[in-house]
Amino acid sequence: MADLHDLTALEQGALIRSGELSPVELTEHYLERAARLPQEYVDGAFVFRDPDAARRRAREVAAVGPVGDGASPLAGVPTAIKDLNLTRGVPTEFGSPAYAGFVPDVSDAVTLAIEEAGLVSLGKTSTPEFGSPCYTEPEGRPPAVTPWDTTRMAGGSSGGAAAAVAAGLVPVAQGSDGGGSIRIPAACCGLVGLKPTRGRVSGFPMYGDPVGLAVSGPIARTVADAAALLDVLAGRRAGDPSWAPDPGDTFLAATAREPGRLRIARFDAPVIAATEVHPEVRAAFEETTRLLSSLGHTVVDISVPIPPEAVPEFETCWAVLTGLSTAPLSAEQRAGLRPLTCWLGERGEAVSGPAFGAAIGALRRHAGEALVALAPYDAVLTPTLATLPLPVGAIRDDADPEADFEAQKRFTPWTSAWNVTGMPAISLPLHQSGDGLPIGMMLAARPAEEELLLSLAAQVEAAAPWRDRRPPLW
């Protein structure tokens, strides 16, 4: 008989709805599992855990029970919330010693949506300082690592969330993605990671990204679980500056539909950095192409749709966003920041208002040109990462933050393209290296077409299932 953590999040939710399992029993299972696994791994995934609060929450959810036909199929299922997301009454430190001990008195839209859907949070997942790097090695804490090889990184910035899901510490978790921060850790940890379209998930109440790069989304073991969590997270609030149109049905329902015969573009030339692509990544890319063709889709080679000139504009915007994070800090708080944060923040603070506006405008023009070029295609295929998950510390370079930043670009040369265009994109754990390390492949779709993207992803998963592929730590 399978252990509870072997079940998908939707299977767990179905057992709760049928009365065969209670949220309290399920929460207790995950709390006990966290106590049994290596504590350095658990502490790399979570920055804060409160078992007693999780038990109280589970009892509250159990007392209410499933509510109506519109209740989330994930009600009663354990999850976790990223350390970048405001959570009322719970330490939220943004991955930085500068905010040590900070406890917000409000929750953001993501936290509120998770609570309203009846999920049970087991704590806050680890993120690097202000969610900036593509690895999760926060100061003074164990790194978030992939359970496929605990000497290697879980990716970032949602590395803690991915490490938690991949090791069976929670069945599903939320992440956020401004340049690949959901898809990168999903690829490193052998998971499904979906960056929704721009405006799909509310940024209330902070609205901290005036460029429009970042959005929250799901990390899960299956496409259906990811779709169910997207149904929880999606939605507009009255103050939102932009929003995506409502889907025709639930995102979960889309995973049960055939996508039809699609026209899919593909390219594997790096976008934001000149770098070598690992031979096993290229082989996986070709194998994925053959799989898509076998499913009846037409796959077409295209040129990179975003020009090199867009890269410095993106970097300017990224630096300014970091500068917005560091600008309010006191000198004492700044003294504890990582060298990479300081370097990026200082670079951002040096950008004038007109220069920032010009960079946003240029980036939007490049995005518009890319969207026109990609309009004839239903989806776009690229690898997720240029290489296999790297050893912990392979990218981080406190002595040379600029070299650190360049290494990040070489590791993730495709993901940020879809943050620039605002298109939804999903990383799928389709392949493994000869050494058993996960290799993610990425599909993107036109803006607001998550339903089609999820339908295609579910079709691919059915043709080449990965659910029963489990890491040694499992």
Instruction: Show which residues are catalytic.
Output: 82, 157, 181
Q: Hey, what's the torsion of the CAs at 190, 192, 193, 196, to 10 degrees?
A: 170
Q: Which residue has the tokens 């490490």?
A: 163
Q: Are 296 and 261 in contact (CB under 8 A)?
A: yes
Q: Answer yes or no: are the C-beta atoms of 200 and 234 closer than 8 Å.
A: yes
Q: Is 239 exposed, middle or buried (0-12, 13-18, 19+ CB in 10 A)?
A: exposed
Is the separation of the CB atoms in 239 and 207 below 8 Å?
Answer: yes
Contacts of 260 (CB under 8 A, 6+ apart): none
Report the alpha-carbon angle 329-337-136, nearest 5.
Answer: 120
Strands 172-177 and 215-220: antiparallel
DSSP character at residue 178: S
From residue 206, alpha-carbon distances to 26, 106, 239, 326 in Å are 33, 11, 10, 15
Tokens of 259: 């996508």
Task: Find residue 217's DSSP bridge partners.
Answer: 175
Length of the chain (residues): 474
Q: Are 148 and 189 in contact (CB under 8 A)?
A: yes
Residue 2 tokens read as 């399978």
Distance CA 43, CA 123 (A): 11
Contacts of residue 350, defined as CB under 8 A and 6 or more positions apart, other chains included, come to none
Helix axes 23-36, 9-18, angle to 10 degrees: 140
Per the listing, tokens 């290596």 go with 38
Structure-block tokens of residue 266: 């593909």
Q: How far apart, in whole angstroms, are the C-alpha atoms of residue 176 and residue 183?
A: 9
Which three-class secondary structure state does DSSP give residue 69?
A: coil
CB 85 within 8 A of CB 176: yes
Give, in degrees to the nearest 5, the angle at Cα 167 between 162 and 173: 40
